[in-house]
Amino acid sequence: MNKDNYKKALDQIHASEELKNKTIEKIENKKTNPNYNYLKYLSAVAVIVIVCSVIFVKQKPNDIKNVAIDEQITVEVKKNDLPRFKNIEELKKILDENQKKSRGMTKKEMTLMDSFETNSMQGVNQEDVKSVEDMDYSKTNIQVQNVDEADIVKTDGTYIYYVVSGKVYIIESKNLEIKSVIAYNSNNDYSPNEIYINNNKLIVLGNYYEYETNKNRADEEEKVRDYVSVRSNSFAKAIVYDISNKENPIVEREVSLDGNYINSRMIGENIYFISVKPSRYYTNIKDDDILPLVQDTARTEKLKKIECTDIAYFKDTNNYNFMLVGGFNITNDEEVNVETFFGASDEIYASENNLYITQINYGEHYSHNGCKTTIYKFNLSNSHINLQCKGEVNGYLNNQFSMDEYNGNLRIATTVYKENTLEEANTSNELIVLDKDLKEIGKIENLAVGEKIYSVRFIGKIGYIVTFKQIDPLFVIDLENPEKPEIKGELKIPGYSSYLHPYDETHIIGIGYNTKSNGHGGITNDNMKLSMFDVSDLERPKEIFNIDVGEGYTYSDISYNHKVLFYNKNKDLIGFPLTYRELKAKDDRNGFIMLKINLEENKFEKYGEILQKIDYRTNIDRVIYIQDTLYTLSETEIISYNLNTVEKIKTLKLEEE
C-alpha cells in the first residue's frame, strides 16, 4: 500500500494530523467502520393497510397537526431533467394500478417479502486521536470523515446527551449530574429517536404521530352496524435546541417531513434527513390527501404541500411510497430544501458532497430471487439537495458499507441470487464500480459462488469483502484502476466477520462469530471472536491473532449496528455490549467487554468486563469514555467507572415513567 493511497485511507478513519504524519513515516521506513426494516417492504402492503386512512388536521397553536395547508411548497430549481409527474391525474393512475396489483398479491408472496431483511449499519471510527493536552472523548462510530451520523448518545467532553424512554437527558459528566431533561408527554405524540450535537445546538430527530378515533355507522346487508375507525398520520421531525444554557434548552426551530423518519446525516452545520410516506389512494380521494406535506417553523407554522410536478418518478419503480429528503442549516432561517421522489429507501450512504439511497426491486415474486438494486444519487451543497441520476446493479446490499465513493466513482458490493431459484448454492457476489453518472465502468462477477456477503470495508484504493457459508473468505481487492478491479488475495478461516474495523495502515480488525454444526448438515453461530488481520501484503492477507468472546451462544448488537462499538485509539482499547451464557453460568448475562490490542505481542488481552443479569431496564446500550472515565448507559441508569482500573465510581438513576 503506497503513501498516497494510505493518506486517503486515513482520511476515512478519522485520524488526527499528528497520527497521519506518524503513519506516513512508518510507511516510508517499511516501504510498504438502527430502526426500520419493516419500511423496506412496506410498499407491498401500504395501500391495503392505509386505504381507509386520511390526513387529519386538528386545531391547536404551535403544533404540526393544527396548522393550515398552503397551496404549494417552495421548490429549488432542478438542475437535472429526471422525469416528474405531469399532473395529479397521472399520479392517481399509478396509485390505482398499484392498488389493484396489491389486491392480487397472494398471501404466500406477502410472507416471502416479509421474511427478507437486511442488516443495518456498520462503520469506520470517527475517533480523533488528539495530543495529550487536548480533551479525549468518544465520538460516534461513523463511516465517512466529516459526515456525522445521529445516535442515541453524544458527548462534547463535558456533557453527555442521551435519548432514552422518550426523553433527552443533558448530564454533566464529571459529577454525573442531570442538568436538564427534555420530556415529550403523551399529548405531544413526539417520539425522539436520535440526536446530533453541534457546538451549542442540540438536534433531536424522531417521529411525530397524530391520531383520530371516530365512531361510524354503516349499512351492511340491510343491518345497521357501528364501528370505530382510527385515522393516523406521522411526520419525521427535527427539533433544533439552543443549549447555551444546559439547564434551559430553548426550541429554535422545528422541521417536519411527511412520513416516517428513516435516516440522516450532518455535514458541517447542515442536516439532511429522510422520511418515507406511504401512498394513499381510494375512490374519490381528495388531491390534498395524496400529496406529501412539509413544515418549517423558521418560516411559517403552516404545512405546505409538495406539488406532484415536483415529484420525481421512474416508470420502472415497483415501490409505491414517497420518499422525502430535506436539508437545512441549523444556524440560519433559510427554508428547508426538499427533494421528493416516488420510491422508498433501503440503505443510505453519504460522502461530503453526495447522498446515495438504494431501493431493492424484488420483482414479481417479492424475493431476493433475481432482484436488483436501484441507486439514486443526490448532490449536497450548503443544505441544498439536487437529485442527479439513478443507476442499477444486480442483487442486494448487505448494509450501508457495501457502498463507498472514491475519486468521484461509487464502489458497490452485492449478493446476487440467480433467477427462478432460492437455493443458497445459486448465489454469487459482485463488486461494481459506477462513474459519476452511475454508469458501470468496472466489475468483478461470480465472487464466492454459493456464499453471500457478511461485511464490506473500502479503504482508499483497497476493498475488503467477507463472504460466508461454512468458512470465512476475506477477499482483498485492488481498486486502483476502477475500470479493472482485481482480486489480489484471499484468506479462508473458520467462522465469519460481520464487522471490519481499520486499525492502522497494514492491519484491520474483524468482529464476528465462530460457527459450529447444527446437527442437521448446516451451520449455526457459536461464541463471538475478534481477529487481527495483517494486510500489508495484499496478495497474502493473514490472521495473525484472535480471541474468543464468551462460551456457547454469544450475541452483540455490533453485528448490525456499528454505533455500539467502543474504541479508544490512544489506549488501544476496543469493546462492545454483549449478551451471552457461560457454560458454568445458570442465567443469561448482559454486559460489556473491553479488550486491549497488543500488536507487539500479537494478542488481544481482556482489559475489563462488566456482567449482570439480563434486565431490559439495565441492559447496557452504549459505552463511552471521557478522558479516563468510562460510562455505561442503559434505560434506567448511567454508571461511571475508572477507565484505568474499571472500578465503579458512581451510579446515576434516570427518571422512570
Query: What DSSP element (H or E) covers 531?
Result: strand 523-534
Gap between the Cα atoms of 623 and 609, Å rounded? 12
CA of 637: how far to CAs of 8, 151, 158, 401, in Å? 40, 18, 18, 32
Do the beta carbons of residue 518 and residue 506 sit within 8 Å? Answer: no
Q: Which pLDDT tens digit goes with each residue over 597-631?
A: 999 999 999 999 999 988 889 999 999 999 999 99
Sheet containing 452-459: order of strands: 452-459, 462-468, 471-478, 486-494
Cβ atoms < 10 Å from Cβ of 241: 22
What is the distance of C-alpha 270 from the center of its chain? 18
CB-based contacts of 489: which residues, under 8 Å, 6+ apart? 475, 476, 535, 537, 538, 539, 540, 541
Q: In which band, very low, low, confident or very high, does the pLDDT at 5 lie, cut at 50, 70 and 90? A: very low
Q: What single-letter amino acid sits at 372?
A: K
Gap between the Cα atoms of 643 and 440, Å rounded? 49
- Phi/psi region, residue 268 (left: phi>0; alpha: psi -120 to 50; beta: rest), is left
Q: Among 35, 36, 51, 41, which Cα is nearest to 110's?
A: 41
Pull the grid cell for residue 542.
Answer: 493473514
Pull the grid cell for residue 158.
Answer: 463535558
The pLDDT score that the predictor gives to residue 228 is 53
Q: With a cut of 70, say whether residue 209 has pLDDT above it.
A: yes
Do the beta carbons of residue 456 and residue 466 sit within 8 Å? Answer: yes
Average pLDDT, the chain: 80
Q: Among 490, 358, 363, which Cα is nearest to 412's?
A: 358
Gap between the Cα atoms of 54 and 290, Å rounded? 9
Gap between the Cα atoms of 539 and 526, Å rounded? 30
The pLDDT score that the predictor gives to residue 51 is 35
The pLDDT score that the predictor gives to residue 342 is 84
Q: With a cut of 50, say whether residue 420 has pLDDT above it.
A: yes
Q: Among 189, 140, 200, 196, which Cα is nearest to 166's?
A: 189
Q: What is the CA radius of gyration of the chain?
A: 25
The pLDDT score that the predictor gives to residue 101 is 62
In the block, cell 419503480 appears at: 317
The pLDDT score that the predictor gives to residue 213 is 61
Cβ atoms < 10 Å from Cβ of 437: 11
Gap between the Cα atoms of 548 and 565, Å rounded? 17
Pull the grid cell for residue 216.
Answer: 361510524
Gap between the Cα atoms of 495 and 518, Å rounded? 14
Q: In which band, very low, low, confident or very high, does the pLDDT at 268 lie, cut at 50, 70 and 90? A: very high
Q: With a cut of 90, say whether residue 557 has pLDDT above it.
A: yes
In the block, cell 475488503 appears at: 464
Q: Highest-confidence range of 128-132, 297-301, 407-411, by mean pLDDT?
A: 407-411
Q: Which pLDDT tens digit goes with each residue over 91-145?
A: 888 887 776 665 554 443 433 333 333 333 333 333 333 333 357 999 999 999 9
Gap between the Cα atoms of 414 and 391, Å rounded? 14
Q: By percentage, how much of the chain surpasses pLDDT 90?
A: 57
DSSP assignment string, 486-498 = EEEEEEEEESEEE
The pLDDT score that the predictor gives to residue 28 is 40
Q: With a cut of 80, say whether residue 373 has pLDDT above it.
A: yes
Higher local confidence (pLDDT), 649 or 282: 649
Mean pLDDT of 445-460: 94
Mean pLDDT of 501-511: 95
Do the beta carbons of residue 337 and residue 385 sit within 8 Å? Answer: yes
- Kindly give the pairing relationship between strand 69-70 and strand 303-305: parallel
Q: In which band, very low, low, confident or very high, does the pLDDT at 203 lie, cut at 50, 70 and 90? A: very high
Indicate if the alpha-carbon torsion angle 431, 435, 437, 443 is positive or negative: negative
Query: Which CATH number applies to 451-657: 2.130.10.10, 2.60.40.1190, 3.30.70.260, 3.40.50.10490?
Result: 2.130.10.10
DSSP assignment string, 76-115 = PPPSS---B-SSHHHHHHHHHHHHHHHHT--HHHHHHHHH
DSSP assignment string, 496-512 = EEEEEEEEETTEEEEEE
Q: Which pLDDT tens digit goes with each residue over 322-356?
A: 999 999 999 999 999 999 988 777 899 999 999 99
Higher local confidence (pLDDT), 540 or 103: 540
Q: With a cut of 90, say whether residue 501 has pLDDT above it.
A: yes
Q: Lowest mean pLDDT: which of 300-304, 368-372, 570-574? A: 368-372
DSSP assignment string, 306-354 = PPGGGEE--TT----EEEEEEEEETTS-PPPEEEEEES--S-EEE-SSE
CA of 403: how far to CAs of 143, 242, 358, 456, 457, in Å? 10, 35, 10, 8, 9
Q: Which pLDDT tens digit goes with each residue over 232-257?
A: 689 999 999 999 999 999 999 999 99
Do the beta carbons of residue 355 and residue 102 sit within 8 Å? Answer: no
The pLDDT score that the predictor gives to residue 479 is 97
Q: Among 604, 605, 617, 609, which Cα is nearest to 582's?
A: 609
Q: What are phi and psi of 36, to 5 degrees?
A: -175, 30
Higher local confidence (pLDDT), 638 or 228: 638
Gap between the Cα atoms of 82 and 608, Å rounded? 55
The pLDDT score that the predictor gives to residue 524 is 76
CB-based contacts of 136: which residues, under 8 Å, 6+ apart? 130, 157, 568, 570, 625, 626, 627
Q: With a cut of 50, say whether residue 6 has pLDDT above it.
A: no
Domain ranges in the chain? 451-657
* 649-657 contact pairs (CB < 8 A, 24+): 649/176, 650/176, 652/171, 652/176, 652/177, 652/178, 654/164, 654/165, 654/169, 654/178, 655/167, 655/181, 656/165, 657/165
Pull the grid cell for residue 69.
Answer: 395547508
Gap between the Cα atoms of 155 and 174, Å rounded? 12
Q: Lowest mean pLDDT: which of 154-163, 509-518, 632-641? A: 509-518
Q: What are phi and psi of 265, to 5 degrees?
A: -145, 155
For residue 119, with 0-12 CB atoms within 10 Å meaning exposed, 13-18 middle and 19 or more buried, which class applies? Answer: buried
Do the beta carbons of residue 73 and residue 338 sit within 8 Å? Answer: yes
What is the distance of C-alpha 620 from the center of its chain? 20
* Helices and strands in the chain, H and E counts: 5, 41
CB-based contacts of 319: which residues, under 8 Å, 6+ apart? 43, 342, 343, 344, 359, 361
The pLDDT score that the predictor gives to residue 657 is 45
Q: Which pLDDT tens digit goes with each residue over 159-189?
A: 999 999 999 999 999 999 999 999 987 666 8
